[in-house]
Amino acid sequence: MRNRDCTFGTGGLKLTNLYTFLASKSSLWFPRICEVLSIDLRSLAVFRIAIATLILVDLLTRAGDLTAHYADEGAWPIAPARKRLPLGGFSLHLFNGSVEFQAILFLITGAFALAMLVGYHTRLVTPIVWLLILSLHRRNPQVLQGGDHVLRVLLFWSMFLPLGSRFGVDACRNRGSRRASSAVRSISAAAILLQVCIIYWFAGLLKSRNTWYIQGDGVYYALMLDRYVTPIGKWLLDANPIILKLLNYGTLGLELFGPLLALFPIVAKGPIRCGIIAAFWLFHLGMGLCLELWLFGYICSAAWLLFIPSWVWDRLKIKSPALNRQGNKTIWARLLNGAVVFLMIYVLFWNLRTANKPLYRFFPDVINPVGYALGLDQAWGVFAGPSKKNGWFVITGQLKDGTRVNLLKPGEEVLWEKPDLVISLYESARWRRYMRKFVKLGDPYRIHYGEYLCRRWNESHIEMEQLQSIHVYYMNQRNLANHRVSPPKRELLLSYTCD
């Protein structure tokens, strides 16, 4: 039998003697599992660059709504945000509601993300970036999308990995001393790979059994959602129904079995795994062309960079000197390993609970604060249900001179008919998400949006052109089979008089 080096730990730290014993007694299967759950350092570095770049892009786009979404003068002041902060959650952004304070935090986050991008003091920088992103997300959960949750959990597990070992300043500074392995085989590497798989497994498991599995209409109903669909999505919706059903079952198959194949020992290090990675990239590309999901597809695609095997880099002749990491048997290392294992089990049970309600007996809400504190709270029901609820907003304002104005599209006539492209009503994807949550918010929280609209309009208009009152209507509609929709029902969500 040939011996294989299989050191598991946090960033290269060895596991307990139990795993060493299993490795020595099971040399046929255990080394293969080690290989499957390892990450090439070059793949890890490219992942770091991609994630840091996406964070910077996200910050730049969020900065355009800095006042609206994060300051007290906006639509979600810190007072209601504190009330809705989950037990165990925290946010540095809730310390002060001024625009200046929020801007400083944005700049600090951007600076550390830039340091992460270039691989400068990555071990120190990555936890800080995670902390600041978690704080940002807790500040205004009303504008969060699926990609934000993926980014947050990826950043958490990244803290325990040597992200700066290649393609960065740290790698250049530590070029002197190397050892035999160019991949990281650790509990943390296994954890982040399994986290990516969990996202897709539970996205598939949480999908409606009747709509997705039996009728095969999941993609149809997803494309019927006007708040997401793009012109390409509308075109696809009118295609042959058989195509939509094929895409439906193709989506289920990829989500349920794609990650499993990526972890299968036979395909873990060659062109077959590359084909699986390419399939997920194409999946997210197609989804992004048909549905406006902002950075969701890019962040998920970045996660699959972790799965790129050494075979690719060797073929591209991109060399990777070995990682300078020696096994460490200190108590601290073992405690850290144990914590990572515990949290991975915690995440698994958190997700199992979302798919199986009886598991609440074994995983009650009382232990939720751990997940909220670490940003590991998650639910991956992406387009899980029939998604039959649909609609669009009409927001009108009454000026002091009696004129009625369109506050969603200033300068345009107030129209009650559904626009050709509903996503064009919103200034950004985050505003679209906020308005979607607005439907579910109670009146005490909706008032803040009314105050914001009045303040923003009146600051830029003379006395008689200032707003006197606003009305927020939701044109509620249900999607039906065979491209049919119910007649829209006009619902008044907010009537607010400006001071």
In tens, the pLDDT along 283-302 reads 999 999 999 998 999 999 99
The band of 9, judged by pLDDT with boundaries at 50, 70 and 90, is: very low
Q: Are residues 307 and 434 in the same domain?
A: no
Question: What number is the average pLDDT over the span 401-408?
Answer: 92
pLDDT for residue 39 is more than 50: yes
Query: In terms of domains, do 425 and 368 share one?
Result: no
In a domain, 179, yes or no: yes
Does some domain include residue 31? no
Closest CA relative to residue 80, chosen from 19, 15, 141, 27: 141
Based on the domain organization, do 324 and 399 belong to the same domain?
Answer: no
Note whether residue 27 is domain-resident: no
CA-to-CA separations, 369 to 88, 89, 146, 397, in angstroms, rounded: 4, 7, 20, 42
What does pLDDT average to over the chain? 88
Boundary residue ending a domain (342, 374, 406): 374
Pair (325, 462) in one structural domain: no
Confidence of residue 445 (pLDDT cuts 50, 70, 90): confident
| Residue 306 is assigned to a structural domain of this protein | yes
Model confidence at 59: pLDDT above 60:
yes
| Residues 396, 366 share a domain | no
- Domain-ending residue, one of 341, 374, 407: 374
Number of domains in the chain: 2
pLDDT confidence tier of residue 100, bands split at 50, 70 and 90? very high
Highest mean pLDDT among 118-127, 176-185, 360-369, 478-487: 118-127
Residue 395 has pLDDT above 80, yes or no: yes
Query: pTM, whole model, 2 decimals?
Result: 0.89
Is residue 279 assigned to a domain?
yes
- One domain for residues 196 and 305: yes
Does residue 274 lie in a domain region? yes
The per-residue pLDDT for range 123-180, each reduced to its tens digit, is: 999 999 999 999 999 999 999 999 999 999 999 999 999 999 889 888 888 765 444 4
Q: Which of 479, 496, 372, 370 is nearest to 418 (CA)?
A: 479
Domain co-membership, 54 together with 92: yes
302 and 416 together in one domain: no
**φ/ψ (deg, to 5) at 471:** -135, 125
Q: Flag whether pLDDT at 268 surpasses 80.
A: no
* pLDDT higher than 60, residue 17: no
The tens digit of pLDDT for each residue in 219-243 reads: 999 999 999 999 999 999 998 899 9
Q: Is residue 381 part of a domain?
A: no
Q: Whose structure tokens read 């985050």?
A: 430
Q: Which of 72, 61, 136 is nearest to 99 (CA)?
A: 72
Q: Which domain covers residue 43, as residue numbers?
A: 39-374
pLDDT value for 1: 40
Alpha-carbon distance 494 to 492, whole Å?
6
Band the pLDDT of 199: cuts 50, 70, 90. Answer: very high
User: Exposure of 400 by Cβ count < 10 A (0-12 exposed, 13-18 middle, 19+ buried)?
Assistant: middle
Q: Is residue 5 part of a domain?
A: no
Does residue 395 share a domain with residue 370?
A: no
Note whether 341 and 405 are same-domain residues.
Answer: no
Do residues 304 and 252 share a domain?
yes
Q: What spatial distance separates the first Cα and last Cα of the chain, rounded to whole Å?
A: 82
* Residue 398 and residue 367 share a domain: no
Minimum mean pLDDT among 119-128, 132-141, 198-207, 306-315: which range? Answer: 306-315
For residue 271, what pLDDT band results from cuts at 50, 70 and 90?
Answer: confident
